[in-house]
Amino acid sequence: MHSRLENKINYRFSDKKLLEEALTHKSYSVENNLAFYNERFEFLGDSVLGLAVCDYLFREHPRKDEGYLSKLKSYIVSKSNLSLWAQKIGLEQHIKLASGEKSSGGALKPSILSNAFEALIGAVYLDGGYEKAQKTLFSFLESQEELFTDIDFKSKFQEYSQKKHRQLPAYEVISTQGPEHDKTFVVTLRVGGKTLSTGKGKSKKEAEQNAAENAIKYLEAHQHKKS
C-alpha cells in the first residue's frame, strides 16, 4: 500500500503496522474510532532525528564551532525544512487525515507534514534500529549539504518578508551591554513598523543574524499554532 513511500526512503518495513501508525493523524483516529495515531511516534522520531543530525554535523563539519553547529541543527530540524523533506518524498499522499482536515488541505500544512516526517523516522527506528533510521536521514542531509555550508538567516528572512509583506526587514541596534572591549549588541528586527524579534551578538552582524533566526522561529511557531 505504501511501497512507493518505502522506495522513496529506501527502506522496507518488516512490520507494516508501524508504518501505518506513523501515517495516521489524530483526527483520522478520532473520526474512525481507532486506538492509535502517530503522536507517540512523532515524539520518538524527534529525538532520533536530533541525534542523527548532531552526529552528521559533528562528523561532516569538524572545524565548525558549537554555535555554528547549533544554528545549523536548528535550521535542519525546523518545521519548514522537515515539511520540505516530507514533500520531497510525497508524504502528503500517504498521511491519513479526517475528512474535514483533508478537504481543507491539511496534508500540506507544514506542521502536519513535519510531524508526520518525525513519526516516520520514529517508525523506521522501531522497525530497524538506530542505524537504519540514521541511514535514512543521512540521504536527506547529504542532498542538502550545499545549503548547509553557510546558512544566512538574514537572506532567508528577507526573502520571506518580500514575498509575504512586499517589504524589507529593518534592523536597529537598541542597546549595547558589557564593557567597551567586550560589547554585546542588542538588535531588533521590524517589518512594517512591527517588532518581530530581537537578537544579541558580539558584532552588529551577528546580532542581526540572530534576530533574523529568532524571527524565523517565531513565524514557524505562530504558523504551527494556527494549524
The domain ranges of the chain are 3-148, 153-226
| Tens of pLDDT, residue by residue, the chain (227 residues) | 788 999 999 999 999 999 999 999 988 888 888 888 899 999 999 999 999 999 999 988 887 778 878 888 988 999 889 999 999 999 999 999 888 777 777 778 888 999 999 999 999 999 999 999 999 999 898 877 665 655 678 888 888 888 887 888 899 999 999 888 888 999 999 988 889 999 998 888 888 988 998 998 888 777 655 55
Residue 196, H or E segment: strand 194-201
Residue 39 is predicted with a pLDDT of 95
In Å, what is the CA distance from 227 to each residue of 84, 105, 108, 110, 166?
16, 11, 10, 8, 24
> Exposed (0-12), middle (13-18) or buried (19+): which is 195, by Cβ within 10 Å?
middle
Give the global pTM: 0.66
* DSSP symbols for 103-167: HTTGGG-HHHHHHHHHHHHHHHHHHH-HHHHHHHHHHHHHHTGGGGSS--HHHHHHHHHHHHHSS
Options 1.10.1520.10, 3.60.9.10, 3.30.70.20, 3.30.310.50; which CATH number does 3-148 get?
Answer: 1.10.1520.10
Residue 93 is predicted with a pLDDT of 92
Instruction: List the catalytic residues.
Output: 46, 118
Say how far residue 129 (Cα) sits from the centre of its chain: 22
Fold of the domain built from segment(s) 153-226: Double Stranded RNA Binding Domain (3.30.160)
Residue 149 is predicted with a pLDDT of 54
Residue 99 is predicted with a pLDDT of 85
The pLDDT > 70 percentage for the chain reads 94
Residue 170 is predicted with a pLDDT of 93
Dihedral angle sign, alpha carbons of residues 28, 94, 38, 105: negative
Three-state SS at 195: strand
Residue 144 is predicted with a pLDDT of 74
Residue 128 is predicted with a pLDDT of 97
